[in-house]
């Protein structure tokens, strides 16, 4: 029933060039929540599939998760770096190849050490 009322509101108050402001904000919030849910669902499915593959092959789950997830994480960077190189920005692409992983490693190691120190001091 709420969806019918919402559809009537959209049909009545929507102009051809301008969406209703209140609903635009509401739909933005709903879209953000749904996108977070889809990322959570997709990542959970990927982890489950990798876990099952590890159980079937006898390869340790942690090794598979680190390998496949880091590979998937780097695919976006690789695509961006290839696109930069094709546009003539090879030096920028090489810098991104080195600085991105170094930054992520430093942040990950720094945060894990910080959390370890704060957890051990309590």
pTM: 0.53
The tens-digit pLDDT sequence of the chain (122 residues) is 777 887 787 777 777 777 777 777 888 888 899 999 999 999 899 889 988 999 999 988 888 888 887 888 788 888 988 999 999 998 998 898 888 888 888 888 888 888 888 887 76
Give the domain ranges of the chain: 1-59, 61-122
In 3D space, the residue among 80, 75, 53 whose CA is nearest the CA of residue 64 turns out to be 53
Q: How far apart are CA 99 and CA 108, in angstroms?
A: 14
Number of C-beta neighbours around residue 93 at 10 A: 19
């Amino acid at each position: 029933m709420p969806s019918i009322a919402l559809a009537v509101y959209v049909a009545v108050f929507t102009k051809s060039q301008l969406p209703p402001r209140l609903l635009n904000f509401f739909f933005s919030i709903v879209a953000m929540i749904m996108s977070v849910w889809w990322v959570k669902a997709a990542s959970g499915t990927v982890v489950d599939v990798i876990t099952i593959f590890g159980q079937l092959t006898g390869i340790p789950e942690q090794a598979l998760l680190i390998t496949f997830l880091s590979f998937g994480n780097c695919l976006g960077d690789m695509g961006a770096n290839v696109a930069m190189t094709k546009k003539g920005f090879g030096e920028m692409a090489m810098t991104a190849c080195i600085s991105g992983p170094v930054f992520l490693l430093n942040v990950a190691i720094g945060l894990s050490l910080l959390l370890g120190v704060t957890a051990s001091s309590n």
